Amino acid sequence: MTFGLTENSEATIRRVLSSYEVGRKLRQLRLRKKIGLVDLGRHTGLSASMLSQLENGKLLPTLPTLARIAMVFDVGLDHFFGAQRKAAMFSVVRGAERMRFAERADAAAPAYYFECLSFSAQNKGLQAYLAEFPKREAKEVSPHIHDGAEFVHVLEGSIAIDFDGEERVLRAGDSAYFDGSEPHSYRGLTSTPARALVVSTPPRL
């Protein structure tokens, strides 16, 4: 099974930033203040053409550009990246849009690789990943912790999960649910990398 694109996927980054609707918020500010594109251009030093493209979502602003616009309207940058329009949540991530990351960027032999399955959703109550586990020896992996619970469902191959000093083997079709705040680690057991769906949740208050 082929994983998604590499980390430098410009299309994916553009899609994530577009979800904040910066252009729509900019247009609302301008119309509320009754400022034309040409006048706003004089204040910001940006061309009316560029401002029009920003408003229409054809161009994504850099942070310095956005900061300049924010100062004109006397708002913070959080105005553009804060609350989105209220709507029932429904977020889709296409397979070709996902990006693949190693467990740690500096790891010579990562214990696992993962792809975020719900990166475009805002204020989500869980995090879902597609993980790949190359074959590793126990001495090659290190335990880690995180807040909340974790659920792992093995799709292909076999993995070993070390939890509380005991190693459990999960094969295709097996699942595990555990407290992520306790030290745990994973390692693949099969020559062909194992694959699993991993879901983590926020801590209970």
| pLDDT tens per residue across span 32-67 | 888 899 988 888 888 999 999 999 988 888 888 889
What pLDDT is recorded for position 9?
64
Whether 72 and 117 share a structural domain = no
The single residue listed with the structure tokens 């062909």 is 192
What pLDDT is recorded for position 194?
98
Of the residues 55, 81, 107, the one at which a domain ends: 81
What pLDDT is recorded for position 108?
85
CATH number at residue 103: 2.60.120.10
CA dist 196 and 69 (Å) reads 45
- Does residue 14 lie in a domain region? no
Of the residues 81, 110, 131, the one at which a domain ends: 81
Q: Which letter, b or e, does each residue of 18-53 get, where b requires 16 or more Cβ atoms within 10 Å of its Cβ?
A: eebebbebbbebbeeeebebeebbeebebeeebbee
Whether 142 and 110 share a structural domain = yes
Whether 103 and 164 share a structural domain = yes
What would the pLDDT profile of 71-128 be if each residue is shown by its tens digit? 888 888 888 887 555 566 788 888 888 888 998 878 888 999 999 998 888 778 899 9
Neighbours of 72 (CB within 10 A): 17
Domain range for 68 is 20-81
What pLDDT is recorded for position 174?
98
CATH number at residue 47: 1.10.260.40
Whether 134 and 179 share a structural domain = yes
- Does residue 54 lie in a domain region? yes
**Looking at the 3D structure of the chain, how many domains does it have?**
2
Give the neighbor-by-neighbor strand order of the sheet with 100-102. 100-102, 113-116, 127-133, 194-200, 149-156, 175-179
3-class SS string, 36-55: CHHHHHHHHCCCHHHHHHHH
Whether 191 and 104 share a structural domain = yes
What residue type is 136 in one-letter code?
A: R
What pLDDT is recorded for position 11?
73
Q: Helix or strand or coil: residue 147?
A: coil
Whether 68 and 122 share a structural domain = no
pTM, two decimals, is 0.62
What pLDDT is recorded for position 87?
62
Confidence band for 136, pLDDT divided at 50, 70 and 90: very high
